[in-house]
Chains A and B, each alone.
Chain A
Amino acid sequence: MSEQKTFKVTIDNITVDVEAGTTILQAARKIGGDVVPPAMCYYTRLQHSGGYCRTCLVRVAAGSTADPRPMPKLVASCRTPVMDGMVVENITNPAVLEARKGVVEFLLINHPLDCPVCDQAGECDLQDLSFNHGAEATRYEFKRRTFERIDLGPYIQLHMTRCILCYRCVYTADQVAGKREHGVLDRGDHSQIATYIQESLDNEFIGNVIDVCPVGALTDRTFRFKNRVWFTKPVEAHRDCPTCTGKVRLWMRGDDVLRVTARKDQWGEVEEWICNECRFEKKKVSDWKIAGPTRVDRHSVISAGHYTNILKPNETFSAIMDGQKPKQLMDIHDVSEVNNVDLNEIKGPATGATFDGNPKSSGVNVTDIKTGEGRNLEGTDSTNPNTP
């Protein structure tokens, strides 16, 4: 049994050699490209994960060389091990694409589609999935299931309405954080991720649930509403951390570190888990040794805004304009023309009061980062420690 065997698998007419015990999904990832089924709940580094979301369904046209019968149903590629001589159809089978389209529709019927105000937007697996595999519109005409927002301690906010119940955070808490304080309550379409008796999640590795969450259900309270991810520049950095490896990715805007996450590979999976201190407490450039910009290979908008591969237009503006110089069309000014408020003086979000002769006042939607816990009815958050 111990000898290393390799199996030949054919996925969408491309044959690849993989080790025995590999799943179809991993074999497809070895090939890469379009034949890789999408995965919303499977996570390579989490044992027992996968099989729930059903987006990775494929058809097995031949089980193996020894038993070439096809499998009667579509199978979840993330949990089905390959056999020698297995023939798999993914994008070459219209039934698979149709089933996947159905699954995407199911996942979206209770999803609030609040991407414009969701912090995950831009790096959201569900956005990518529905863009790549979904229909243009939903046929669902009923009220969507909603939940209250819950602050799980000072760092994590749970917005269950957006959750697709992938169970990744449950496995992360089990296998990475070591002490699980949350789980799935209830059943069916009213099942929810919850702590049962509302309390905070306070394990020192629990912040990783934010990284594994494929949607915006678990968000970083130190980053909420601070910026859109596509405006921030990913940078690889590290520090000597006594708890974890300290290898992280900083998301910067200018000189500000807005967010710290673990490094993710091309499938959006965390390479090395990081601790809460690195993730939530170290928000200064001086805390980190910066290695250089990250190149994000993935398809979504976070891959915009790189420092590398910058394309310059072939023609310059003046060439298009026949040698004319562009006229300045809009004057961007420092002082409000309405009531002469110096715009540079405003700190934090501006409100009506700011322009009402009290230019130093800014929006008071700041909760104390260390004490917030429990229900968050206003839905406000932002725990912006930099605002006064």
Chain B
Amino acid sequence: MGKKILLEKEHIEGIRYFDTYRKNGGYAAADKAFKMSAADVVEEVKKSGLRGRGGAGFPTGMKWSFLAKPEGVPRYLVCNADESEPGTFKDRYLMEFLPHLLIEGLLISSYALGSERTYIYIRGEYAWIEDILDEAIAEANRAGYLGQNILGSGFNCQIYVQRGAGAYICGEETALLESLEGKRGNPRIKPPFPAIKGLWDCPTVVNNVETLAAVVPIILMGGEAYSKIGLGKSTGTKLISACGNINKQGVYEIDMTISVEEFIYSDEYCGGIPNGKKLKACIPGGSSVPILPANLTLKTAKGEARMMTYESLADGGFPTGSMMGSGGFIVLDEDQCVVRHTLSLARFYRHESCGQCSPCREGTGWMEKILHNIEYGKGEMKDIDLLWDIQSKIEGNTICPLGDAAAWPVAAAIRHFRDEFEWHVLNPEEALKRNFGLAHYADPIEVAVG
């Protein structure tokens, strides 16, 4: 049984409101943190080994320690709640049911970083959650946990919620800052990094919702204790939003000690695949990360069981591995068409590319058109190689990671499911009527290593 830390109190009725949250031990971490010095709070987070939950998995404590602290310049903490990755909906769950957990985490982090004005940049489509957060902030203000001279510490902090306008690209931290400043949401060119020059050219830390919420249990139990949960460098618990062909879709909190197999088939989590179908493929970390065929989902190329940890999911690099990403766990059963699936992702990235740098602007559209041709029976064999070439020229050559995120799913689909693409090209009429099916993917065949 996995340990629940973040979602421990989610079942309590009325936990959304301040009084219930307070009665159930809420804001105890804030009380504790305000007795510590700001540097000690950062030190605890460093000790906890907490890694960014937004996708990149960068150690949070290290990110915080990079924050420049020039005299007389305000510093900002921005919470990235622009969760728009297809397959990822964990932050929505957290904010909708436990808004005060986020507010508390933000308050502690703001105190640690010295941010007196803290922003939550929330996805435009989450309109009702903005209301929930606004209400929670008002409650916290009334209770004295926000505003002037919080808990007599002399520290002032106010949290503002800003809604985006429905752009995936604004989840990229510098595009988010541009959008927050009221400009067009184009990613900035790095360096300078936000820790030096961020919001309004001031030092800024941008963290994911789940990362900031995780600061609360870290302060409560101490960084040491938190770092003992999980495997290796994947410390603590992670929210996984599972969807696709599974019996129980939803948000699960795992403590990163279980295997992927257990996560998919155990009744405690996804509960297996409906109608007795077989697993065909899995995207373990949201639409941007490489898709894995069934055999590589359950076992690494070395034959070890694949675990739900940052390291194990990335084992084998891109040839045979994937990434933890943002924890959007998408399962495809034997009835799903990988080409169609890749097309729908390519369409998404084409639509969401900001159009700033040329490889991503032009390449995403080109990939979508080719995939559309292959899916609808107009593809040629050379298109598959062309697709591979286009993705390789987008990857790594763009300003922000959206180009990589558009290239990786296409690359992985061709890498692992090339025969399905070829089948589409060779049997265009059949491909319109039925799906390729499972073929050999679910068989525990030997995987060529290297």
Report which A residues bind B (CB closer than 8 A).
50-55, 57, 73-74, 76, 79, 98-99, 102-103, 105-107, 109-110, 139-140, 142, 164-165, 167, 183-184, 186-191
Contact call A106/B358, Cβ cutoff below 8 A: yes
26 residue pairs A–B, Cβ–Cβ below 8 Å: A50-B189, A52-B356, A53-B358, A54-B397, A54-B398, A76-B399, A79-B189, A102-B389, A103-B359, A106-B361, A106-B362, A107-B358, A109-B366, A139-B386, A165-B361, A183-B184, A184-B184, A186-B355, A187-B355, A188-B353, A188-B364, A189-B361, A189-B364, A191-B354, A191-B355, A191-B361
A187/B396 in contact, CB under 8 A? no
Decide if B46 is an interface residue (CB 8 Å cutoff).
no
Check B358–A188 contact: CB distance below 8 A.
Answer: no
Interface pair A106/B363, CB less than 8 Å apart: yes
Closest to B361 in A: A189
Query: How far, in whole Å, are A340 and B36 apart by their CA atoms in the complex?
Result: 102
Distance in Å: Cβ of A103 to nearest Cβ of chain B: 6
Is B123 in contact with chain A by the CB < 8 A criterion?
A: no
**Complex partner residue of B353 from A50, A109, A187, CB under 8 angstroms:** A187
Instruction: Give residues 160-177 of B contacting A (CB, 8 Å).
Output: 167, 169
Measured in the bound complex, the distance between the Cα atoms of B189 and A189 in whole Å is 20
Please name 13 further chain A to chain B contacts, defined as beta carbons within 8 Å, in addition to the given A53-B357, A99-B397, A105-B393, sorted by A numbering: A54-B398, A57-B397, A73-B396, A79-B189, A98-B393, A106-B362, A165-B356, A167-B356, A187-B169, A187-B354, A188-B365, A189-B350, A190-B355
Interface string of B360-383 (1 = CB under 8 A from A): 011111100100000000000000
Once bound together, how far apart are the Cα atoms of A188 and B357, in whole Å?
Answer: 9
Chain A neighbourhood of B335, CB < 8 A: none
Q: Which residues of A contact B366 (CB under 8 A)?
A: 106, 109, 140, 142
Interface of B is mostly: helix
Instruction: Choose from B167, B353, B399 the contact partner of A51 (Cβ within 8 Å).
Output: B399
CB of B358 within 8 A of CB of A54, answer: yes
- In angstroms, Cα B396 to Cα A102, docked, is 12
Q: Which 8 A-B pairs have the closest CB atoms?
A: A102-B393, A191-B355, A106-B362, A188-B353, A51-B189, A189-B365, A73-B396, A188-B355
Say whether B352 faces chain A, with CB atoms less than 8 Å apart. yes
Q: Could you say which of B189, B350, B352, B359 contacts A106, with CB atoms under 8 Å apart?
A: B359
Bound state CA distance, A109 and B370, in angstroms?
Answer: 13
A107 partner residues in chain B, CB cutoff 8 A? 358, 362
Contacts of B416 in A (CB 8 A): none
Q: Which residues of A contact B362 (CB under 8 A)?
A: 106-107, 109-110, 189
Q: Evaluate contact between A54 and B352: CB separation under 8 angstroms.
A: no
Name B residues whose Cβ lies closer than 8 Å to a Cβ of A. 167, 169, 184, 189, 350-359, 361-366, 369, 386, 389-390, 393, 396-399
Which of A57, A106, A110, A190 has the most chain B CB atoms closer than 10 A to its own CB?
A: A106
Contact A103 B358, beta carbon cutoff 8 Å: yes
Residues of A within 8 A of B361 (CB): 106, 165, 188-189, 191
Q: With the chains together, A142 CA to B356 CA distance in Å? A: 22
- Residues in A whose Cβ lies below 8 Å from that of B390: 102
Closest to B355 in A: A191
Instruction: Give the one of A50, A76, A164, A188 with max B CB within 10 A.
Output: A188
Known A187-B167, A188-B350: A51·B397 in contact at CB below 8 Å = no
B350 closest partner in A (C-beta): A188
Instruction: Give the Cβ gap from B198 to chain A, nearest Cβ, in Å.
Output: 16
Cα-based distance from A55 to B393 in the complex (angstroms): 12
> In the assembly, what is the distance between CA of A106 and CA of B358, in Å?
6
Q: Is the pair A74, B189 in contact by a Cβ cutoff of 8 Å?
A: no
Indicate if the CB atoms of B397 and A52 lie closer than 8 Å.
no
* Given A103-B393, A184-B184, A189-B353, CB of A164 within 8 Å of CB of B365: no
B181 to chain A, nearest CB (A): 14
State how many angstroms separate the Cβ of B186 from the closest Cβ of chain A.
Answer: 8
- CB-CB under 8 A from B363, the residues of chain A are 106
Docked CA distance A109–B351 (Å): 17
Of all chain B residues, the one with the shortest Cβ separation from A99 is: B397
For A79, the chain B residues whose CB sits under 8 A away are 189
Tell me which of A54, A102, A105 contacts B357 (CB under 8 A): A54
CB distance from B309 to the nearest CB of A (A): 23
Give Cα A355 to B435, complex, Å.
66
| Chain B residues within 8 Å of A50, by CB | 189
Give the distance in Å from the alpha carbon of A328 to the alpha carbon of B346 in the complex.
64
A73 to B359, CA, bound (A): 14
In the docked arrangement, what's the CA distance between A120 and B97, Å? 59
A191 to chain B, nearest CB (A): 4
Q: What is the CB-to-nearest-CB distance from B382 to chain A, in angstroms, rounded to a whole number?
A: 8
Chain B residue contacts of A76, Cβ below 8 A: 189, 399
Interchain nearest-CB distance for A135 vs B (Å): 11
Q: Decide yes or no: A189 and B397 within 8 Å by CB, A51-B189, A76-B189, A106-B363 being known contacts.
A: no
Residues of A within 8 Å of B169, CB to CB, are 187
CA distance A169 to B103 in the complex (A): 43
Which residues of chain A are near B357, meaning CB under 8 Å? 51-54
CB distance A103 to B351 under 8 Å?
A: no
Least CB distance from B75 to A in Å reads 21
Among the interface residues A52, A57, A183, which one has the most CB atoms of the partner chain B within 10 A?
A52
Give the residue name and chain of the A residue nearest to B351 (CB): A188
Give the docked Cα–Cα distance between A386 and B167 (Å): 50
Taking the closest CB of chain A, its distance from the CB of B133, in whole angstroms, is: 27
How far does the alpha carbon of A265 sit from the alpha carbon of B354 in the complex, in Å? Answer: 32
Cα distance A192–B189 when bound, in Å?
Answer: 21
Distance in Å: Cβ of A139 to nearest Cβ of chain B: 6
B358, chain A: closest CB distance, angstroms = 5
Q: Which residues of B contact A55 (CB under 8 A)?
A: 358
Closest B residue to A55 by CB, please name it.
Answer: B358
A54 to B395, CA, bound (A): 12
Which residues of A sit under 8 angstroms from B393, Cβ to Cβ?
98-99, 102-103, 105-106
Q: For residue B355, which residues in chain A have a CB less than 8 angstroms away from its CB?
A: 165, 184, 186-191
Which residues of chain B are near A139, meaning CB under 8 Å? 386
Residues of B within 8 A of A52 (CB): 356-358, 399
Complex Cα–Cα for A57 and B184 (A):
25
Complex Cα distance, B365 from A188, in Å, reads 8
Chain B residue nearest to A95 (CB atoms) is B396
- Tell me the complex Cα distance, A139–B358, Å: 16
Known: A74-B396, A183-B184. A54 touches B353 (CB 8 A): no
Q: How far is the CB of A36 from chain B (nearest CB, A)?
A: 19
Residues in chain A near residue B350, CB distance under 8 A: 188-189
* Smallest beta-carbon distance B227→chain A, Å: 28
**Complex formed: what's the CA distance from A8 to B358 in Å?**
31
A160, chain B: closest CB distance, angstroms: 12
